[in-house]
Amino acid sequence: MLDSVRASAAPPDPGAPASVDIRDVLRRYRGAWRSAAAFSAVINLLMLAPALYMLQVYDRVLASGNPATLVMLSLLMLGLLAMMGALEYARGMVVVQLGARFDAVLGRQVHGAAFRRGLAGQPANAAQAVSDLNTLRQFMTGSAVFAFFDAPWFPLFLLVMFLLHPWLGVLALAGALLLMGLAWLNERQSRTPLAEAGTWSLRANLLAEGQLRNAESIQAMGMLGALQRRWQRLHRAYVGRQAQASRTSVGIGAISKSLRIALQSAVLGLGAWLAMDNRISPGMMIAGSILMGRVLSPIDQVIAAWRQWSGTRLAHARLQALLSDHGEPAAGLPLPRPDGALRVEGVTVLPPGARTPSLVNLNLVLPAGEVLGVIGPSGSGKSTFARVLAGIWTPRVGVLRLDGADLAQWDRERLGPWMGYLPQDVELFAGTVAENIARFQEPAGDEADEAQASRAARVVAAAQAAGAHELILGLPQGYDTVLGMGGQGLSGGQRQRVALARALYGEPSVVVLDEPNASLDDAGEQALMAALQGLRARKATVVLITHKPKVLAATTQLLVLRAGQLQGVGPTAQVLAKLQDAGQARQAANPSAVASDAAANSATAGLAATGPVPGLRRRATGTDGAYAMPAGMTIKHQGDKA
């Protein structure tokens, strides 16, 4: 019975298209749906038993006065009712299993699609997506779906009513048409308000989530009242539309309930009149009253479940749009561990939601084992470059290759362990420090204990490589210290050092660091320098984006960006020398800038290996050690197309 559910829940084909059609998923369970439909057919046939029982009691038992006939009819009736109860249970279990399998197949797809929607720069709103999936599953496993199974059988009861007497059939048909008309009117009047209510609810929820994420700023600057008023306007609009739909449903529901009771009384009165005229027997009168309830009950159930059906339809539409627009990429051919050679070929990047590109026609060849520093003023495209290298954003034009293969060809689950990434805005997750460093990888299988020990060793090695081992040991529970959402419980510098350890976990081949020293103190910067030297020693490819020239001592190559375009790339010493020449030429043309450049050189005098970085002006923002490109400077490296 339940095997049809298990057999029809085959895993999805790895070569299936990226977009997912929910109807195709439901079609996988055709066997389960057929089983539920078959159970429903037998259950509805057994629903005739009470009417037939009453017919026999009134027309045969009372007329003959034979107790044995009454006992046999009653035992038969009890047996049929027991069978009907067993089939109801079986049908319910099939539908529950089907809902669980449906959720198991779509749950990962929905979560992944919401993640990819957030990655594309749109509101991820994963809570709404999961809520929509739960709405679909609950509809499939609830009483509402049984109403749709039972509704097609009401013509059978209507036919029996006509067989009892045509007038009884006409009354039942008229009542059914009236109830169906009310159901149609309910749906028509409620459709638009419910759709608008869903839109307003989504906007209100997104605004509330954004406010909660920035609770500290709201509290510090007294913004709560103003933001609450904005949220209340959206919430009131949602409540108003919801109330409008509810008023319609409540009114039509009350009319439908009163009409159904009136029809059952009317059929009993009509049956009594026909019985007094000797056109039907008293048993037929009682049977007709029972059958009228069976004719109208599925329609009444559909009306009661219509609000749930309307919400389910909207949830289905939202989920289908999410899965169609942000489907799972097809799995590529597994590739071996990369050496780390990067090649950027004519890459132009348009960030999600932007109208102008952040990088334009960027070309770069970076052999494996090199440490590339990326510098430039704010808004020059440095963080965009980091996101492209990490595979977060896809180039609009051009190709990024890793070991000769287009980065899009790599399976992200396989490439992830070989890629280390430290974003500019550090995000840790709820869990222990060790789990965050280990990227929440959990050993499984028969060798779980051995794998657990290996994971612990790699966690400690990554922390030591990042210079965070002593820091972590100083936490209340060391590596087992539990962090809140966003790394709550750690300071900004501590979060950055733990995130650096996460980027170094497993000795990745490529490490992309975006402003890794933005929140570090002197001890943290020394640990970062040691980590960079370690990466350089083991021939890892490193891309380091920074506004602080001190860490440029660890780089072997230097790339200069300005307004999204390549201004210079080559060995660090050569690029710095060209920057110095360009700065001196600018100072000769504009002597008033000498003082500011001297101050900038003084601020960057801590760069021990290469000395101060001449020609780099200190930014107007006053950020310590930050710099900007000299105006009008252009540097091109041999072999570069930019």
> Residue 606: what are its φ and ψ, rounded to 5°?
-75, -5
> Residue 628: what are its φ and ψ, rounded to 5°?
-135, 155
pLDDT of residue 16: 40
CATH architecture of 18-325: Up-down Bundle (1.20)
pLDDT of residue 610: 38
> Residue 122: what are its φ and ψ, rounded to 5°?
-100, 160
Q: Which CATH entry fits the domain spanning 342-427+490-603: 3.40.50.620, 3.40.1400.10, 3.30.420.40, 3.40.50.300?
A: 3.40.50.300
pLDDT of residue 75: 92
pLDDT of residue 11: 43
pLDDT of residue 606: 36
Query: Which residues are bridge partners to 364 per DSSP?
Result: 344
Token pair 């991820």 is at which residue?
124
Cα(492)–Cα(504) distance, integer angstroms: 19
Query: Which residues are bridge partners to 280 per DSSP?
Result: none
SS3 call for 501: helix
208-252 pLDDT tens trace: 777 776 676 777 777 777 878 888 888 888 888 888 877 777 887
Cα(496)–Cα(212) distance, integer angstroms: 23
Residue 268: both structure tokens together: 């009993």
pLDDT of residue 78: 92
Cα(422)–Cα(519) distance, integer angstroms: 13
The bridge status of strand 405-406 relative to strand 397-402 is antiparallel
pTM score, whole prediction: 0.64
Cα(468)–Cα(523) distance, integer angstroms: 10
pLDDT of residue 608: 35
Cα(315)–Cα(318) distance, integer angstroms: 5
C-alpha dist (Å) from residue 410 to 108, 332, 404, 415, 419: 20, 6, 11, 6, 12
CA angle, 539 then 544 then 547, to 5°: 155
**Is 617 in contact with 623 (CB distance < 8 Å)?**
no
Burial per residue of 316-333, b for 16 or more beta-carbon CB atoms within 10 angstroms, e otherwise = bebbbebbeebbbeeeee
Residues 6+ apart with CB under 8 A from 178: 259
pLDDT of residue 118: 64
CA angle, 40 then 43 then 45, to 5°: 110
Q: At how many degrees (to 10) do helices 282-304 and 143-150 cross?
A: 130
- Residue extent(s) of CATH 3.40.50.300 domains in the chain: 342-427+490-603
Residues 6+ apart with CB under 8 A from 239: none
The bridge status of strand 510-514 relative to strand 541-545 is parallel
The secondary structure of residue 591, as a DSSP letter, is: G
Residue 386: both structure tokens together: 């980091």
Query: Which contiguous run of DSSP H or E holds residue 169?
Result: helix 166-213
Query: Which contiguous run of DSSP H or E holds residue 359?
Result: strand 359-366
Cα(570)–Cα(588) distance, integer angstroms: 26
The secondary structure of residue 457, as a DSSP letter, is: H
DSSP string, 364-388: EEE-TT-EEEEE--TTSSHHHHHHH
The secondary structure of residue 333, as a DSSP letter, is: -
The bridge status of strand 419-422 relative to strand 371-375 is unpaired
SS3 call for 613: coil
Cα(22)–Cα(316) distance, integer angstroms: 8
557-577 pLDDT tens trace: 899 988 888 888 888 888 888
Regions of the chain short of the pLDDT cut 70: 1-19, 118-127, 213-214, 216, 303-307, 310, 325-334, 443-449, 583-642
- Residue extent(s) of CATH 1.20.1560.10 domains in the chain: 18-325
pLDDT of residue 522: 81
Residue 371: both structure tokens together: 């440490």
